[in-house]
């Protein structure tokens, strides 16, 4: 259980997130990484509104799927459910799988893999010659809508992301033909939360873990105190979720995708 689950729940209860269903369509995944141009990210909490420079990088256009992760654990037995070192994953690691190499039915193949710890996600990316994206990189890409590279101040986009968060289901729905954002990246908001390399870093603005005086930032109106954009409710939700994570955390709605630096 996440240490800050109560905080995230408190925030979520203050934000109306209507649910809606969505269909699933067959999709052929393009495995080529997307090149993201250099830019900057303004953390939710930043000293004097300081932006973080984001050098150009590459990122997977889709989250890692169950099929992808099954191929990884086939080649890397130490990351199989029956062999995982407890220091690297919680008790529910890949708990929804039928066995070490069996992720379920063919319909499950394109579900983003979840119940994966930060350690396992990092190992997967390393085996592919990649890495997890940083918080700044992920947030920079996730701020893009279909039309804008930075829609973080677009009220309609923010409202759409909130509705999308409310429509999520578990098990996470398979990847479908949903349109990519302006950078060409799919499913950043409508499937699951995603691991970042520095989920517990001060790059988020500060680290609320173990600092009760900062926990107030994760509660409704109080959360806007000191925030660089008080109206960006999806950013509050992501901040709160990350604040409750540990490296061993495995959750039904937490997956990942990989990134790569550009020399």
Domains and CATH numbers, the chain: 5-17+54-261 (3.90.1580)
> Per-residue confidence of the chain (263 residues) as pLDDT tens digits?
444 333 333 333 333 332 223 333 344 566 799 999 999 988 876 555 578 899 999 999 999 999 999 999 999 999 999 999 999 999 999 999 999 999 999 999 999 999 999 999 999 999 999 999 999 999 999 999 999 999 998 999 999 999 999 999 999 999 987 899 999 999 999 999 999 999 987 444 444 333 333 333 333 333 443 444 545 788 888 988 998 999 999 999 999 999 999 98
Greatest CA span in the chain, whole angstroms? Answer: 51
The pLDDT value recorded for residue 50 is 79
Q: In the 8-state DSSP scheme, what is residue 34?
A: E
What is the pairing mode between strands 254-255 and 259-261? Answer: unpaired
The pLDDT value recorded for residue 16 is 34
Other CB atoms within 10 A of residue 182 CB: 15
pTM of the model: 0.81
Q: Report how far Cα 156 is from the mean position of its chain's Cα atoms.
A: 21
CB 2 within 8 Å of CB 245? yes
- The residue ranges of DSSP E strands in 31-164, in sequence order, are 34-36, 39-41, 52-54, 57-59
The pLDDT value recorded for residue 53 is 93
Three-state SS at 193: strand
Cα dihedral sign, 233-213-204-125: negative
The pLDDT value recorded for residue 8 is 37
Alpha helices, H only, the chain: 5-13, 66-75, 118-127, 135-142, 155-167, 233-243
The pLDDT value recorded for residue 45 is 64
The pLDDT value recorded for residue 11 is 37
């Amino acid at each position: 259980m996440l240490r800050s689950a109560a905080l995230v729940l408190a925030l979520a209860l203050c934000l109306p997130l209507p649910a809606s269903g969505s269909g699933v369509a067959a999709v052929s995944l393009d495995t080529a990484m997307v090149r993201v141009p250099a830019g900057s990210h303004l953390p939710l909490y930043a000293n004097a509104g300081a932006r973080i420079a984001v050098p150009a990088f590459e990122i997977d256009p889709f989250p890692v799927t169950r099929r992808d992760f099954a191929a990884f654990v086939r080649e890397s037995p130490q990351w199989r459910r029956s062999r995982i070192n407890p220091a690297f994953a919680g008790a529910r690691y890949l708990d929804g799988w039928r066995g070490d190499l069996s992720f379920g039915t063919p319909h499950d193949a394109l579900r983003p893999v979840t119940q994966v710890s930060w350690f396992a996600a990092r190992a997967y990316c390393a085996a592919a010659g990649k890495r997890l994206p940083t918080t700044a990189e992920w947030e920079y890409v996730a701020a893009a809508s279909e039309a804008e590279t930075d829609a973080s101040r677009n009220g309609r986009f923010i409202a759409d992301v909130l509705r999308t968060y409310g429509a999520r289901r578990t098990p996470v729905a398979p990847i479908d033909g949903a349109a990519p954002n302006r950078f060409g990246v799919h499913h950043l908001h409508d499937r699951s939360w995603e691991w970042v390399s520095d989920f517990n870093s001060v790059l988020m603005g500060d680290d609320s873990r173990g600092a009760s005086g900062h926990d107030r930032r994760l509660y409704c109106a109080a959360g806007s105190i000191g925030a660089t954009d008080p109206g960006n409710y999806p950013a509050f939700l992501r901040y709160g979720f990350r604040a409750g994570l540990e490296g061993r955390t495995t959750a039904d709605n937490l997956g990942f995708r990989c990134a790569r630096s550009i020399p």
